[in-house]
Amino acid sequence: MTKIFDLTGRTAIVTGANTGIGQGIALALAEAGANIAAVGRSAATETVEKARALGVKAEIISADLSSIEPVGRIVDETVEKLGGLDILVNNAGIIRRNDSLDFTEEDWDAVIDTNLKSTFFLCQAAGRHMAAQGRGKIINIASMLSFQGGIRVPSYTASKSGVAGLTKLLACEWAAKGINVNAIAPGYIATNNTAQLQADETRNRQIVERIPAGRWGDPADLGGAAVFLASSASDYVQGHILAVDGGWLAR
């Protein structure tokens, strides 16, 4: 590992680390040497075992981010169990699909609370710790729908546009405190979240045909971008939203 990408001795919180993109990112950070606090509703047992096998410390932190109640505890437990906090990856997220004419308040609130509100308040809790130590790296998981409209996903699109805006605002507010705040915008990545689309033969073909790379992304495809944004290699990168999408947005 080139030294600028080395995360040895650093500690990362990754939310939604039990599966999909969160697991891919957690394991890439662990491979680069970071200790992992794997946060989520389901226990991230597999992620933690795989991270430990890579020679780092890893702990499960149980928390439901549909409310902001656990954000302070997540930071405190991470520091207590792993000895510090240097990196935050806000990855936990949900999607609800329905026509905008029929969209319910419940589906609106559930998505905004998990994807946007908890992201902000976990940034705040981690940001206080990072500001006090004079350094930190925050990576928010945005989406192609931070830039595009989409169809039948109004609360998701609003949440991910919000995440993009928030990333830029926090980058401006906290740059002078030594905190880098950036985002990754994944393209179509094969996870539980997208299982329905993958299973729909017609939709799946349309998607793959439109992706310049000609394939779905894999959670491991996000690892390099996460290690870059978590490492000293990105010390002068602020408020950037890095698309990892096989060229989808470039088209």
Catalytic residue, chosen from 156, 174, 216, 248, is: 156
| Residue 154 binds to ligand NDP (criterion: CB under 6 A) | no
Is the Cβ of residue 16 or residue 162 nearer to ligand NDP in the bound state?
16
Residue 52 C-beta: closest distance to ligand NDP, Å: 19
Total binding residues toward ligand NDP, as defined by CB under 6 A: 27
Residues 204, 206: Cα–Cα separation, whole Å:
6
Residue from the set 2, 102, 192, 202 that interacts with ligand NDP by CB under 6 A: 192
Burial per residue of 40-75, b for 16 or more beta-carbon CB atoms within 10 angstroms, e otherwise: beeebeebbebbeeeebbbbbbebebbebebbeebb
Among 46, 54, 62, 66, binds ligand NDP (CB under 6 A): 66
With CB under 6 A as the contact rule, the residue among 47, 78, 91, 180 that binds ligand NDP is 91
Shortest Cβ 1–ligand NDP spacing (Å): 25
Mapping DSSP to helix (H, G, I), strand (E, B) and coil, where does residue 39 land?
strand
Distances (CA, A) of 107 to 24, 57, 146, 174, 235: 27, 37, 18, 32, 38
* Pairing, β 241-244 against β 179-186: parallel
Q: Does 191 bind ligand NDP (CB under 6 A)?
A: yes
C-alpha span between 174 and 108 (Å, rounded): 29
| 47 near ligand NDP, rule: CB under 6 A | no
Residue 62 CB, shortest distance to ligand NDP, in Å, is 9
Q: Is 156 noted as a catalytic residue in this protein? A: yes
193 binds ligand NDP (CB under 6 A): yes
> How far apart are CB 239 and ligand NDP at their closest, in Å?
18
Contact with ligand NDP (CB under 6 A) among 54, 94, 158, 220: 94
Selected range binding ligand NDP among 20-28, 80-88, 98-106, 227-235, rule: CB under 6 A? 20-28
Chain-centre distance of CA 153, in angstroms? 19
Per DSSP, which regions of the chain are E strands? 11-15, 35-40, 58-62, 87-90, 136-141, 179-186, 241-244
* Contacting residue, 7, 11, 13, 16, with ligand NDP by CB under 6 A: 16
